[in-house]
Amino acid sequence: MLGLLAAGVGIRRDDTERLNAFNRHYSLVVCASRNPRWARDYHTVQMPKEVRKARYFSRREELSDPELLSAIISRRDYYTDAWWMVAVATTADAPYSLEQLQDGLRHPVFPLYLGRKSHPLALPLAPLLLEGNACDALCNAYQQYQDHFHKLKVSLPKLQDECWWEGKHDGLVASKILRRRDVPLNRQQWLFGERTVNQGPWLSKEEPCTSQE
């Protein structure tokens, strides 16, 4: 999601300094749909055959002898037939306001896609600006999305009962605390740092905001 937001406002993937500054000022609350399916994507990578005592100090050196090259196939799995409802919270000194992020998602500077260009967005992002605590904002957004897609005759899968978030948000109580190593530190070197993620219900059992049917 941070990548989508950064692309929307025009931050390049190789601009490490701006990306790191950007990532420090936004926290997310993520609600995911139930029962997603997997889409498998294959990649071919050129690698040199194993040569005893051969040491390579760069990717250029690895590929320097065409007679030693061979191709290996790797695979990656992605979610498909799924949707997410994400709330974005910002700090007071964030480089972009929520209004600017909303405009960037509606009129992005760079194309938006999910991890790879072969995985474009299948539904519009439909960013909303809402006020209130986390639960109220999520319930309000969910109702608006349900109404909007009902008019388009698009059937959305139900959301999972629990969501995931960083930091503290009024109305959300964690039932689990998880650790994730997915904070982008350097895109060029593909380095990621750790973060703490809370998991818990986003709907009140006593007063649900709306039926998920």
Farthest CA pair distance, the chain: 68
Quick check: is 211 in a domain?
no
What pLDDT, on a 0 to 100 scale, did the predictor assign at position 85?
95
What pLDDT, on a 0 to 100 scale, did the predictor assign at position 207?
53
Domain containing 136 equals 2-32+84-201
CA–CA gap between residue 18 and residue 21 (Å, rounded): 5
Domain end position, chosen among 15, 45, 80: 80
What pLDDT, on a 0 to 100 scale, did the predictor assign at position 48?
73
pTM of this prediction exceeds 0.85: no
HEC string of 99-152 equals HHHHHHHHCCCCCCECCCCCCECCCCCCCCCCCCCHHHHHHHHHHHHHHHHHHC
CB distance 181 to 139 below 8 Å:
no
Quick check: is 212 in a domain?
no
What pLDDT, on a 0 to 100 scale, did the predictor assign at position 213?
42
Profile the chain (213 residues) by mean pLDDT over runs of 10 residues: 93 89 92 90 77 74 77 82 92 94 96 83 89 92 90 87 92 93 78 91 67 44
What pLDDT, on a 0 to 100 scale, did the predictor assign at position 178?
95
Q: 92 and 72 in one domain? A: no
Cα(first)–Cα(last) distance of the chain, in Å? 27
Q: 197 and 112 in one domain? A: yes
CA–CA gap between residue 205 and residue 76 (Å, rounded): 37
Angle between helix 16-23 and 2-9 (nearest 10): 120
